[in-house]
Amino acid sequence: MSYKLLDGKSTSLFVQEEIKTEVDRRIANGDKRPHLAAVLIGDDPASKAYVGHKVKACNKVGFDSSLIERNTNISEQEVLDIVSELNKNPEIDGFIVQLPLPSHIDSQKVIEAVDPSKDVDGFHPENVGKMSLGLDTFKPATPAGIMTLLNHYEIDTEGMHAVVIGRSDIVGNPMSSLLRSNTSPGNCTVTQCHSRTKDLKSHTLQADIIIAAIGKPHFITDDMVKDGAIVVDVGINRISDPSKKSGSRLTGDVDFENVAPKCSWITPVPGGVGPMTIATLLQNTLKAADGK
Ligand code: NAP
């Protein structure tokens, strides 16, 4: 089967262009530039890279951005104080606290300290609850970005059987919620799998759409995918690759080379879900600025 790529890179550029046009319109009107702040604790290279991409994307679309960096040894109270300052600061429309946080800091406590009207990650329980109820709110950027990608390629998911692998609060759970919602795209029948699922393959083989959010390189193999399936690979895994100067490269949760020929549509890694996550964060920030 000849597959088509769900190209997150070009779709993200399309979304960013729309946002830039809207920002330019607002500036011409004398309105304030949307302002996103990011809090980065510690020196995890992957977190640093993600935050760097987010700040760069802000600058591209004409947003103001602030990066607040602190050492790993910061106390939980100091992080909560930063959140409280950002909540109060009228210049900041929305902000994110990059996860994971060091283990001595209670992430849930920090998430719940964020003002829901500035929670552009959509992780606050109030926003999670609103999303589950189908109410207008900030949706977590990765699953919402996947919905935008499906929509961009006019994929009609109504009635499809979606198998989501993963149940994290940032990907698997909100993804299942969005795919089963009465929206377009959406209206899927959703099966959600995780590490305790028995005979995972028996589920994935029934899937019209597979969303792989596991965090294990090349975990989804061709024998797990039915012909014509749509496969969305959320995974970002660094594996060793002696042919690269750095000695490593990024790869997804799907064995792309062998799975792609069975698919109707598939996302590449990199260039699939990752850029859509960033584009959606920008959309959420614009929405937060609208709320002012
Ligand atoms: P996570 O919190 O570690 O969740 C992984 C999920 O996979 C868990 O629910 C786990 O089940 C399940 N799992 C693990 N082993 C499994 C197995 N053998 N069979 C079935 N399910 C299994 O990770 P996450 O934060 O959701 O992220 C998942 C991946 O997406 C990671 O590679 C991450 O880097 C990537 N990611 C990418 C983006 C992006 O923008 N592209 C954004 C966020 C995350 P249990 O719940 O039972 O442990």
Question: Taking the model in full, what pTM does it have?
Answer: 0.97
Domain range summary for the chain, segments of one domain joined by +: 32-114, 141-273
Could you tell me which CATH number the domain at 141-273 has? 3.40.50.720
* Alpha helix (H) residue ranges in 29-124: 45-61, 76-88, 107-113
Q: How confident is the model at residue 52 (pLDDT cuts 50, 70, 90)?
A: very high
CATH superfamily of 32-114: Leucine Dehydrogenase, chain A, domain 1 (3.40.50.10860)
Please give the mean pLDDT across all residues of the chain: 97
Percentage of the chain exceeding pLDDT 90: 99
The domains spanning 32-114 and 141-273 adopt the same CATH topology: yes
Q: How confident is the model at residue 260 (pLDDT cuts 50, 70, 90)?
A: very high
| Catalytic position from the list 7, 119, 121, 253 | 121
Q: How confident is the model at residue 232 (pLDDT cuts 50, 70, 90)?
A: very high
Q: What is the pLDDT of residues 171-228, one digit of tens each?
A: 999 999 999 999 999 999 999 999 999 999 999 999 999 999 999 999 999 999 999 9
Do 149 and 184 form a contact (C-beta atoms < 8 A)? no
Q: How confident is the model at residue 271 (pLDDT cuts 50, 70, 90)?
A: very high
The ligand 1 site (C-beta within 6 Å) comprises 142, 165-168, 170-172, 193-197, 200, 213-216, 234-237, 273-274, 277
Residue 221 pLDDT = 98
Q: Is 102 exposed, middle or buried (0-12, 13-18, 19+ CB in 10 A)?
A: middle
d(C-alpha 179, C-alpha 146), whole Å: 10
Checking if the pLDDT of 29 tops 90, the result is yes
Ligand 1 mean position, distance from CA 138 (Å): 21
Output the residue whose Cα is nearest ligand 1's atom 31: 215
Q: Residue 136 catalytic?
A: no
| CA R_g for the chain | 19
Ligand 1 mean position, distance from CA 6 (Å): 20
d(C-alpha 52, C-alpha 46), whole Å: 10
Residue 98 has what DSSP assignment?
P
Q: Which of 151, 149, 125 is nearest to 138 (CA)?
A: 125
Output the residue whose Cα is nearest ligand 1's atom 22: 195
Residue 76 pLDDT = 98
d(C-alpha 28, C-alpha 41), whole Å: 36
Q: How confident is the model at residue 292 (pLDDT cuts 50, 70, 90)?
A: low
* Residue position matching structure tokens 């109504």: 158
Contacts of 119 (CB under 8 A, 6+ apart): 94, 126, 127, 138
* Alpha helix (H) residue ranges in 185-230: 200-204
Q: How confident is the model at residue 291 (pLDDT cuts 50, 70, 90)?
A: confident
Percentage of the chain exceeding pLDDT 70: 100
Q: Residue 54 catalytic?
A: yes
Which atom of ligand 1 is nearest to 278's Cα?
40
Q: Residue 16 catalytic?
A: no
Residue 9 pLDDT = 98
Q: Which of 110, 109, 96, 102 is nearest to 66 (CA)?
A: 96
Contacts of 243 (CB under 8 A, 6+ apart): none
Q: What is the pLDDT of residues 130-162, one digit of tens each?
A: 999 999 999 999 999 999 999 999 999 999 999
Question: Which residues pair with residue 231 across a beta bridge?
Answer: 210, 266
Checking if the pLDDT of 100 tops 90, the result is yes
Q: How confident is the model at residue 1 (pLDDT cuts 50, 70, 90)?
A: confident
